[in-house]
A and B are shown apart, each in its own frame.
Chain A
Amino acid sequence: MAAGRSQAYVRGVTPTHSPATAADPGRSPTAPSGASSDTSGRSDAATAAVTRSAYRLRINGTEHELDLDNRASLLDVLRDRLDLTGSKKGCDHGQCGACTVLLDGRRANSCLVLAVAAQGREITTVEGLAGADGELHPVQQAFLDHDAYQCGYCTPGQICSAVAVLDEVANGWPSAVTRDPDAVELDRAEVRERMAGNICRCGAYANIVPAVLEAQRLTAGAAGGDGAVTR
């Protein structure tokens, strides 16, 4: 983004690098900065439509105030506005899973979520998984212990996805390969099916599957889940 162009401001956060993205249309905004999201009903043809919105996003427990073009995806805002670059852009079409984050505890492709539509959600990225003392999430530790990556680009998405998988299993969600929907158990086939939305071009699956199974063993004491997926 060219300096001085009034594309966006983020209070409390210093905007960092901002390559041209959907969030950075390279045009002047058509509405004054600070306009709130439009809930007034249909547009008046005589008035230029308000195509940006001021809103808050709660990410990893921190509130961020934003004023952005409505086209910004959640992924672009995380990476280009808030310097949370753990979430990766792979395909930008919801097909690879590298951008996976948790919305209200449930995994989602952040490339397909408009940031403006994520208001009011509790957003958790890979940066928010470790404990306050820096202790890694069991899934993170299991990925380390099992060498469950090669280049690492897909890893944040894999880890966020796996965190949600453990919760989904704990809450009894069946998958396409579940034989008895009333007794959901995680095994190799279940991990492969449930993690199908995360592509690894290095082909580290052989270690990802054991890592996810190991993470479930590590968290078994907390079985029952935190209820996130049943909200």
Chain B
Amino acid sequence: MREFAYGSAESVEQAVAMLDGDPDAMFLGGGTNLVDLMRLGVATPGRLVDISRLPATVEQNEDGALRIGAAVRNSDLAADPRVRRGYPVLSEALLAGASGQLRNLATSGGNLLQRTRCLYFQDVTKPCNKREPGSGCPAREGLHRDLAVLGHSEACIATHPSDMAVALTALDAHVVVTGPAGPGRIPMDEFHRLPGDDPTRDTVLRHGDLITAIELPAPSELSRNSGYRKARDRASFAFAIGSVATAITVVDGTVTDVRVVLGAVAHKPWRARVAEQAIIGGPASAHAFEAALDLELSAAQPFPDNAFKVPLVRNLAVGQLCRLAGVEMSVGSVGAGTDGAGR
């Protein structure tokens, strides 16, 4: 591990000032990903600015909107009664991620900024365009079983590992940032990037930008009728091989609003807008959900060893939408109980 200087910030302003003009410096939150990447030699900061002691509160505004401080720990957020009741998809996604120990350390802001768990990215002896631009992507021909099936590029087929980010995308959250260029408020769906020809950048943030909060709109019928489902290789404490955050409202058998966001299939949480448009205004039925997901996933470009993800996330989404809409899964649907999500 490279030697580094350490300082602890006591205010947002101080934190931003400590990083400004020092391209070698990084913010340190809970450290669950950054410290590991430093140990692996993937991250090599010359200075760490510890922001884990900045205010960590969850506050509800007068209009009901929830403002989650960036330093709020994942465990606190998952247990918050306002989150559990108003936005169950967020609580479920948080509890589906990592372990009790890691959730106690991990911060809300840091969760969004964690890096891909692509094996090549984490191994400095291997080429990786995300880590070392222009060095190549061995995953295309190599181990890509856990990697992207949507929105990937010639340069990078990594997936974003966060469960929380998938839920936040379904909740129309905003990421509140400040930095050398001043404050900003970024819609969750625009916060993470597709890799394109610059996979080094996971998000739209620039060096020195600091996430200060995550904002959720006031709880609604839609957000309260939401949920998260995750498929993984063991029953607990593993990254998703496919996941889905959904929310739906149904009036007299007709879908009035819906969110479908797929996780572990792309470089960012995949808002399935094509499927959403196909579902809204139509009947709440398994067949309608299946057709909508098939339409969305017709854009998928899987690799030889991860083609299974396409039916996996389809079935997760259909099963979850049926459950939330209170409708029967269709007879013979592969979505019925065979999605491996274990819940």
Interface residues of A (CB under 8 A from B): 22, 25, 27, 30, 37-43, 49-51, 53, 69-71, 73, 92-94, 97, 100, 103, 106-109, 112-114, 116-117, 119, 161, 164-165, 168, 171-177, 181, 192-194, 196-198, 229
Contacts and interface: CB of A to CB of B under 8 A. Distances in A.
Given A117-B31, A174-B95, A176-B95, A168 B100 contact: yes
B6 A53 contact: yes
A194 B6 contact: no
Given A38-B5, A174-B84, A49 B46 contact: yes
A194 B7 contact: no
Interface residues of B, number: 49
A164 B17 contact: no
A113 B31 contact: yes
Contacts of A174: 78-79, 84, 91, 95
A43 B237 contact: no
Interface in B5-63: 5-10, 14, 17-22, 24-25, 28, 30-32, 35-36, 39, 46-48, 50, 52
B4 to A, nearest CB: 6
Contacts of A181: 84, 91
Contacts of A39: 7-10
Nearest to A194: B100
Contact of A49 (B1, B5, B35, B343): B5
22 contacts: A25-B1, A25-B3, A37-B8, A38-B5, A39-B7, A41-B7, A41-B14, A50-B5, A51-B5, A70-B4, A94-B32, A97-B99, A107-B100, A109-B32, A109-B101, A112-B102, A114-B6, A114-B28, A164-B100, A176-B95, A196-B235, A197-B102
B18 A42 contact: yes
Secondary structure at chain B's binding surface: helix, strand, loop or mixed? mixed
Contact of B101 (A25, A40, A50, A100): A100
Contacts of B5: 38, 43, 49-51, 70
Contacts of B47: 38, 42-43, 49
A18 to B, nearest CB: 17
The 7 closest A-B pairs by CB, nearest first: A197-B99, A196-B236, A51-B3, A196-B237, A49-B5, A176-B95, A42-B22
B17 A41 contact: yes
A108 B101 contact: yes
Contact of A112 (B14, B35, B95): B35
Nearest to A51: B3
A111 to B, nearest CB: 8
B6 A92 contact: no
Given A94-B101, A176-B92, 17 more contacts: A25-B1, A49-B3, A49-B46, A51-B3, A51-B6, A71-B1, A93-B36, A94-B102, A97-B101, A107-B100, A107-B101, A108-B104, A113-B31, A164-B100, A165-B100, A174-B79, A196-B236
Contacts of A173: 75, 78-79
B39 A93 contact: yes
A192 B237 CA distance: 11
B105 interface: yes
A38 B6 contact: yes
A100 B103 CA distance: 13
A62 to B, nearest CB: 23
A171 B92 CA distance: 18
A94 to B, nearest CB: 6
B96 interface: yes
Contacts of A30: 3
Contacts of B98: 197
Contacts of A117: 6, 8, 28, 31, 50, 52
B146 to A, nearest CB: 15
Contacts of A27: 3
Contact of A114 (B31, B75, B95): B31
A38 B7 contact: yes
